[in-house]
Structure 1
Amino acid sequence: MKTIYGVALRLFKTNKFIVFSSVFGIAVAVCLFITIVLYAESAKKTVSQEIKDLYGEMDLYVEYTQETESTFYRFLEKTPEIEEISKVIVTQAQVDSLQADIYTVGVENDSLAKSRYKFNRDLNNKSVVMNESLAEALNLKVGEQVKIEQKTFILTDIISDLKETGIAPDRMIFSRESVLSFIHEQKEYDTPPTYIVMIKTLQNIDFMALSNKIIENNSDVKVTIVEEDEFLKSNINSLTIFVKILSIIVLCVTSLLIVSNFDLLLYKNKNQLAILRSIGATAKQLVVIIFVQSSLINLTGVLFGFLLSWGSQQFMHGWLEKLFSFTTSSVMFDIKAALFIVAASAIIIQLFLMIPLFKVVKILPLKVIQENESLDFSYKKNRKKMGKLIGIISILLLIAGAVVPDDGKSVGVILGASLLLLISIFTLFPIYLPEILKRVLPFLQRILGKESYIAIKNLLPQVRKNTFIILTISMLIMIAVFGSVILKTIQQNELNQLKRDYPTSIVVSSRLMYESSINPEELLQKITELPNISAASTVSTMFEAEFLNEEKPLPFSYALADLEGLEKQGIISSIERNNRDIIVISNDLAERFELKIGDHMNLGLYSEEQQRILPINDFVVGGISQIHRGDAYLDWSNQAFRNEFTTFHKLFVTPTHSASTLAALNDLKKQYPELQVNSYRETVEQATEMFYQRWSIFIVILASIFILVLAGTFSTLINNIYSKRKEFAVLRVMGVHPIGIMKVIMTQIITYVLIGLCLGTLAGLILTFSVLVIDQTPLAINYTLIFLVGGGMLLMSVILSIPVSIKLSRQSVSEELTKDNK
């Protein structure tokens, strides 16, 4: 038995590189599995933290009527599922110096309210908390006094603005008693106050069941579950899809890495076992050899993979955070989960290694050697038919998922169809690859010479061997494409939303809206007289008008605007002017009312006195453009469309020097305290920072997976080169010089990488497109990153191949010829 163990261990002495590459392949695979599981768990925590950052400790909130407050509150206190409740009132309060109503919240001094509204100090009947821009407009600091609703309050805290969502809204926070006093003293409200109770539940409570229980007690209430927030649900859905697809990709990549790295090991083992059988080794002895060799390689690999995953979590994440200049939420290394993955991986890989070798024990040695030397896939015709069939089915499913109305099942249909399409592509790819290479051969011979021609020619009969390495590279690129496009699309959509709020780089707005007393013409003149301003234009608050067509009046929203200024700034497209009154409409309104430039619109306004729509004037559509807000712009000169509530709303500034212009506009706020000055650049910076905070864990984990797969891919590339040592020796016997051998090796590596890049990019775009079809979102492809990844991988592959090719070109020809075909 000692001799059998010696024979088993001799593999490690005579084939050090093969053993090392196999161990490394297992380590990368196990590390990837652990990383993706920890990532999925961490991603859930990230979403939970995002919910907590937005809503605090609250799990749901209930809107109720004041009449039922006492009985409803007693019911909530007696409900066993509820841990904590906090009452809130939402209304408006007037700041005396602004003569304007500001969004106001009345809260209690408990942890639930503080976590939701982000203030720290307890509030009393003389306290108020404001957002940063409102405090700045009122020239207030913490500890100073301000008059609100003709009462004096002390500013006890300043909370940050929410500029990453666009132009920051103003907010004031009082004690609940203070807001109740406002309500009792006021007689009329434009908007009645809203009474809310925030609820924190015990752990592991069914929110939907609790909601139903609350509604059963009082049918007049409105219950909102925090986790049902549309924005958060969208993020959770994106996260779920992202994790599932990334998990599938990682599973495929690890499978390819194991298969490609074990290809040479299994080949060696099968040959050796066939020889041992032919010289009289028993089945029992072969089983011992198989078990010893596979167990040692497997255990070493999974142990190294465990250490590698722990090391990457401890050190690589920190390095990537410094590289990308952001911090991520902490990812705890769950040792129990990691050990479970290690054990499961070890069992699966052990079976993967032993099952093919057990077959050797049952068949004749000659048959083993014949099958081992097979260079092509078996059942080629059936694979071709199956690949085409799967491709047709996937395309039909994609069309069905995109066209059929969404009933909640289209998401699964589209994802399933996308995966089937990728399976079809990867199934048909190795079948058609030789035909593609044959067509390229004549061009390569003319351009790159005979060595490159020989290099590609030798690839043609080795379809199975070459397919694994190309698919591994394509999977690596698919991860880069999928991850970068998804993140770029999400970021671009957020920036597009901000761009709609900022037609110019600086936007000046009134925080008073319909209560503004600013003269728009006067403000426009003062701002245009400031230095470093090339153009400016104003827009009023919005109102509703009626398009009096032949059938029935059609309502739409409009604002008065400086049309000439907007056109000069490029905010609206060129206007076709004539002697008639001009209206500029949005693309959406033009499509909705089936209008084009030059069409007439007879407009009317609803009269409160006469309780009917009165015709006002006939207008000509002078332009169809992107409207900042609403459906149409009319010029300020149309007096018939101005009323007592027509006030200044926004002023769009095109500066020649942003910094000095912002400083001048902030000085102007001393004269007009109601003004808000917002910079697109600053808002984008804040939104970008928030984006990286929200998605940092995804970026870091994606980068970690990419680096690990890249290491595995390079290991596979070197393995592939070493498997062709005999082929290179034959070329040297035929008169190919060492430089020619280097050229052959580099040509094959570049061919692998280029084909893998093209296939991976195509697969990544298909996968990404199918995911984004679900949300009807346009793709934002990060071409720079894709080219950098592709170019970097190509360059690193060439650099890596140089020392290997030099070493192989200097080996003894006679010794190399004695090597087997791998």
Structure 2
Amino acid sequence: TAIAIILGVAFVSGTYVFTDTIKGQFDSLFTDIYQGVDVAIAAEGTGVGSADVPFDESILDVVAAVDGVEIATGGVTGFATIITTDDAGDPKIVQNGGAPTLGFAWSDVSRLSPLSIKDGNGRGPTAPGEVAIDVGTATAQGFELGDVVKVQATGEAEDFTIVGLMSFGDQDSLLGATLSAFEMTEAQRIFGLEGQFNSIGVAAISGVSAADLARDINEALPAGIIAITGQSQQAADLSEVNDSLGIINIALLSFAAVAVFVGSFIIQNTFRIIVTQRTRELAMLRAIGATGRQVIVMVVVEALIVALFASALGVVVGIGLAGAIRSAMNAAGLAVPPGSLVVLSRTVFVGMATGVIVTMLAALLPAYRASKVSPVAAMRGETRVRRTTMRKRAITGVSISALGLVFLMTGLFGSVGNAIANVGGGALIMFIGVSVLAPLAARPIANVIGAPLPKIFGITGTLAKENTKRAPRRTASTASALMIGIALVTFVAIFAATIKASVAETVDEAFPSDFTIQSSQLGEDPNIPMTFSRDLVGQVDALDEVAVAGAFQFGEALIDGEKGFITAVDPAKAESLLTIEPAPGALDSLTANTIIVSEKLLKARNWTVGESVTITTPLVEDVPFTVTGTFGRTEFGDYLISTEVFTQQYEPTGDGFVAVKLAPGVSLEEGRAAILEVTDNYPTTELQDKSELVADAEKQIDGALALFQGLLGLAIFIAVIGIVNTLALSIIERTREIGLVRAVGMSRRKVRKMIRWESVIVSLFGATLGIGMGLFFGWAVARALEDEGLGKFAVPFGQLMAYVVIAFFAGLIAAVWPAFKAARLNVLEAIAYE
């Protein structure tokens, strides 16, 4: 019981400690960035998208002329990837996991820049062709001053000479990111920002307040450019980070909640068995005057003592868990800065409260039942479950399950405000309902699972099967904990298999092209791929081996006030490269300020062809567009505009995706060799045919699946601990019985075997219920998301069989200690046990 509480509380408190520590490190990071910045200046933008909107560099002169400004410097940032070669001599990008590859314009004004070069580490770049990189990357890659490296930004990879090794504040690296700095005009060129800045930093003259200076600068700035204090900008940046960490926190706490929920079954089962074992003791107390309320208080106080001890230990273990996660991140190359773990009083309170409240609630039902036992009946040892009790259980279980099903289906198929809460709440209620019903299924399912045992192991197998059947409530409660873990990993496996099958079907049907080209790196927004040079598509399209190559761009927008993502296509090429099923004339209608939308979205938003809608992009607000047509397939989004119009509505950016169709008679091998001659100059891009595109998607899905299964593995581990706990307690309960079977000739070996197979039956019972519920959840979610691209429901039978095998061996492992303990009982003492 204590282990279940400790692990659940550790997961909760460890999550808080980890995210609070990361928040603290980002807080320190932004403090370093803005420590000398009194005023920060940027384009105001439209509130759409997260990227900084560039503005003309002449704004710097306007700012510098304002009274109170001591110094002002322009900032240019972008993505810059260092390229090396692998053992085979092929291009290889330098990147630590998913950490970004950032590029900057070098500034010698140390007050306004956190980047510095320590003595002996060279100098900052002052001319084209020069670069400074962070010390961490240089050390990891073996780079030295004077080395020539290739760097790719928005164009082809170019050669740069390393002239400096940078530090970020006091650190040699920035959370694993690769940092590159260039001379200002060189940075503007490679990032496609000639004559532009992303930002301006201002230091005030001594005695001038940041707020007053920001006000004065705003009066001098043209519309669309805004100045705020450095402190305000720091708070805004930190808020964005905290929002992202909040999502991670919620995700991890969701898995922690699963672990705690599973643990509650173990706690409840433990106290139920303990109370049952002490029935005569409690009856004696009742007989000599103890009230039912006093019995409840006694059991609850016992639970409170266990909860306080285990919860406190769980908080300590959680702190250690957070430290282990940080060490793992460092080992993965993410370079988390050193420092003390952040343990807030909130973390201790939430951890302790979680353990205590869950334990107390789980112990209440056994305590209440103990208070209701008739003293006379209890002293006679009457513990049989009445038929009326089982009928009530059936009615209650069905009612609870039906309620959970309503919530689940409403969240999946209804129009509710918080669908995720409905789905999660519905699943939770259904788990409770099925666990209430489980004792009714324990006997018949145990009969089926244990049917081969009497034939194989004789009387030992018969006893193992009958022991699980005679206490259906105990069997079901123990199995329910495992059921939850197995159900969730089954659901995740089915969902992943469905996505993979749907991706394979989509690629086959939606891509008449032979090859795709896209960036191998992640962008700032997971919905929008990293871009690359627009020169690439023209070079590929000019190849003799290529019939047509077309580029596609992607951008966030507000369409009539609702957030969406726009895809830009070349109307003349789109239909030959993608299967989008356009209505007649729809693509031809894509001209200035026209848009075509998916048939599904047109219906959902009650639009008609010919209707005018307004679009807001990162650059412009409320631009009128006319809906001039529709299309059927939505793999590339619900909104299509022309690439020419996209360029006018969005900041200068590259292509997000290129589709290539080979000329007639050209084989895939010939086409690949020709295209690689071009893409090798853009090492951050990846050329893939259809099979490789599917394999890459499957690899990403399998990675996510492994992560989810690993996190859910804790719940399964807690459930296995519950089986150990229940078996150990049941042995105490059956001490006299075990002594008797030993006295009539059962060997220790057979006793161990009997306990092992009891454990296996319980485990397989839990796996049976769990896989059944996981199948249902997987099917329901897949059907609900059918219109979102999950058109092919798939069941990974191999994985489900693996879960059954895992449950089988988990049962064997869980029985090792209880079986050993049962076999070592002294026969005479056991027979005399009361």
TM category, shorter: 0.5 to 0.7
| 2:161 paired residue number | 142
| 2:578 paired residue number | 586
Per the alignment, do residues 104 and 513 of structure 1 end up closer, same or farther by CA in structure 2, a change over 3 Å counting? farther
**Structure 2 residue identity aligned to 1:396:** V
- Of the three residues 342, 356, 373, the one matched with 2:383 is 373
User: Offset at 1:753?
Assistant: 0.6
Aligned equivalents of 2:58, 2:684: Cα separation in 1: 40
| 2:2 paired residue number | 26
Preserved CA contact (<8 Å) 2:265 2:362? no
Preserved CA contact (<8 Å) 2:21 2:342? no
Preserved CA contact (<8 Å) 2:551 2:570? yes
Per the alignment, do residues 362 and 183 of structure 1 end up closer, same or farther by CA in structure 2, a change over 3 Å counting? closer
- Of the three residues 463, 468, 471, the one matched with 1:462 is 471
1:396 aligns with 2:406: yes
Per the alignment, do residues 482 and 46 of structure 1 end up closer, same or farther by CA in structure 2, a change over 3 Å counting? farther
Q: TM-score, normalised by structure 2?
A: 0.56
**Structure 2 residue identity aligned to 1:392:** A
**Structure 1 residue identity aligned to 2:733:** S
Per the alignment, do residues 696 and 26 of structure 1 end up closer, same or farther by CA in structure 2, a change over 3 Å counting? same
- Of the three residues 37, 45, 57, the one matched with 2:13 is 37
| 2:37 paired residue number | none
User: Offset at 1:243?
Assistant: 3.6
User: Offset at 1:752?
Assistant: 0.6
The equivalences for 1:717-728 within 5 A come to: 717-728=727-738
User: 3-state DSSP class of the match of 1:132?
Assistant: strand
User: Offset at 1:128?
Assistant: 6.6
User: Offset at 1:255?
Assistant: 1.5
Preserved CA contact (<8 Å) 2:43 2:224? no
**Structure 2 residue identity aligned to 1:797:** G
The equivalences for 1:55-454 within 5 A come to: 62-63=43-44, 87-88=74-75, 132-133=151-152, 137=156, 140-142=159-161, 175=184, 220=224, 239=248, 242-275=251-284, 301=310, 305=314, 308-309=317-318, 332=341, 334=343, 336=345, 340=349, 344=353, 345=355, 349=359, 365-369=375-379, 373-375=383-385, 379-405=389-415, 408-438=417-447, 451-454=460-463
Q: TM-score, normalised by structure 1?
A: 0.57
Identity among equivalent positions (%) equals 15
- Of the three residues 776, 794, 798, the one matched with 2:808 is 794
Map Cα deviations across residues 437-495 of structure 1 (whole Å, 9 max, x no partner).
Answer: 45667676567755434432343331222122111222343565567788999999999
Aligned equivalents of 1:305, 1:179: Cα separation in 2: 52
Aligned equivalents of 1:52, 1:458: Cα separation in 2: 60
User: Offset at 1:258?
Assistant: 1.7
Map Cα deviations across residues 415-446 of structure 1 (whole Å, 9 max, x no partner).
Answer: 22222222222222223333444566767656
Aligned equivalents of 1:183, 1:333: Cα separation in 2: 41
Per the alignment, do residues 195 and 680 of structure 1 end up closer, same or farther by CA in structure 2, a change over 3 Å counting? same
Map Cα deviations across residues 512-544 of structure 1 (whole Å, 9 max, x no partner).
Answer: 6469875857564xxxxxxxxxxxx56434599
Map Cα deviations across residues 18-55 of structure 1 (whole Å, 9 max, x no partner).
Answer: xxxxxxx2243034213313214524665898999999
Per the alignment, do residues 63 and 371 of structure 1 end up closer, same or farther by CA in structure 2, a change over 3 Å counting? farther
Per the alignment, do residues 372 and 397 of structure 1 end up closer, same or farther by CA in structure 2, a change over 3 Å counting? same
Q: Structure 1: 5+ residue runs without aligned partners?
A: 1-24, 93-102, 145-154, 187-192, 201-209, 525-536, 545-554, 562-582, 595-600, 609-623, 633-647
User: Offset at 1:754?
Assistant: 0.7
User: Offset at 1:56?
Assistant: 11
| 1:748 paired residue number | 758
Per the alignment, do residues 498 and 469 of structure 1 end up closer, same or farther by CA in structure 2, a change over 3 Å counting? same
User: 3-state DSSP class of the match of 2:161?
Assistant: coil
| 1:548 paired residue number | none
Aligned equivalents of 2:693, 2:337: Cα separation in 1: 23
Map Cα deviations across residues 602-622 of structure 1 (whole Å, 9 max, x no partner).
Answer: 9979999xxxxxxxxxxxxxx
| 2:651 paired residue number | none
| 1:474 paired residue number | 483
Map Cα deviations across residues 329-363 of structure 1 (whole Å, 9 max, x no partner).
Answer: 98937385565467544687579769966997897
Map Cα deviations across residues 347-390 of structure 1 (whole Å, 9 max, x no partner).
Answer: 87579769966997897632444687345798433332233233
**Structure 1 residue identity aligned to 2:43:** V
Size of the aligned set, in residue pairs, is 658
Per the alignment, do residues 107 and 62 of structure 1 end up closer, same or farther by CA in structure 2, a change over 3 Å counting? farther
**Structure 2 residue identity aligned to 1:459:** T
User: Offset at 1:199?
Assistant: 11
Preserved CA contact (<8 Å) 1:586 1:625? no
Map Cα deviations across residues 282-328 of structure 1 (whole Å, 9 max, x no partner).
Answer: 99999999799778766665565556555656669868998x99988
| 1:529 paired residue number | none
Per the alignment, do residues 75 and 715 of structure 1 end up closer, same or farther by CA in structure 2, a change over 3 Å counting? farther
Per the alignment, do residues 275 and 747 of structure 1 end up closer, same or farther by CA in structure 2, a change over 3 Å counting? same
User: Offset at 1:755?
Assistant: 1.3
Per the alignment, do residues 556 and 764 of structure 1 end up closer, same or farther by CA in structure 2, a change over 3 Å counting? same
Aligned equivalents of 1:328, 1:781: Cα separation in 2: 39
Preserved CA contact (<8 Å) 1:270 1:357? no
Aligned equivalents of 2:77, 2:821: Cα separation in 1: 76
Aligned equivalents of 1:808, 1:586: Cα separation in 2: 67
Aligned equivalents of 2:506, 2:111: Cα separation in 1: 31
Aligned equivalents of 2:303, 2:167: Cα separation in 1: 65
Per the alignment, do residues 267 and 685 of structure 1 end up closer, same or farther by CA in structure 2, a change over 3 Å counting? same
Aligned equivalents of 1:650, 1:365: Cα separation in 2: 80
| 1:547 paired residue number | none
Per the alignment, do residues 696 and 285 of structure 1 end up closer, same or farther by CA in structure 2, a change over 3 Å counting? closer
User: 3-state DSSP class of the match of 2:549?
Assistant: strand
Preserved CA contact (<8 Å) 1:476 1:706? yes
Map Cα deviations across residues 667-715 of structure 1 (whole Å, 9 max, x no partner).
Answer: x579x96797646699999999999999999887665665555445433
Map Cα deviations across residues 584-635 of structure 1 (whole Å, 9 max, x no partner).
Answer: 4633x22x438xxxxxx99979999xxxxxxxxxxxxxxx999999999xxx
Aligned equivalents of 2:300, 2:533: Cα separation in 1: 79
1:758 aligns with 2:768: yes
Moved more, 256-265 or 777-786: 777-786
Per the alignment, do residues 523 and 255 of structure 1 end up closer, same or farther by CA in structure 2, a change over 3 Å counting? same
Preserved CA contact (<8 Å) 2:720 2:814? no
**Structure 1 residue identity aligned to 2:160:** K
Moved more, 241-250 or 703-712: 703-712
Larger helix proportion of the pair: 1
Aligned equivalents of 1:328, 1:198: Cα separation in 2: 27
User: Offset at 1:751?
Assistant: 0.9
Map Cα deviations across residues 616-664 of structure 1 (whole Å, 9 max, x no partner).
Answer: xxxxxxxx999999999xxxxxxxxxxxxxxx97768999999xx99x9
Aligned equivalents of 1:366, 1:511: Cα separation in 2: 82
Aligned equivalents of 1:184, 1:817: Cα separation in 2: 88
Per the alignment, do residues 447 and 173 of structure 1 end up closer, same or farther by CA in structure 2, a change over 3 Å counting? same
The equivalences for 1:707-722 within 5 A come to: 707=717, 710-722=720-732
Per the alignment, do residues 288 and 735 of structure 1 end up closer, same or farther by CA in structure 2, a change over 3 Å counting? same
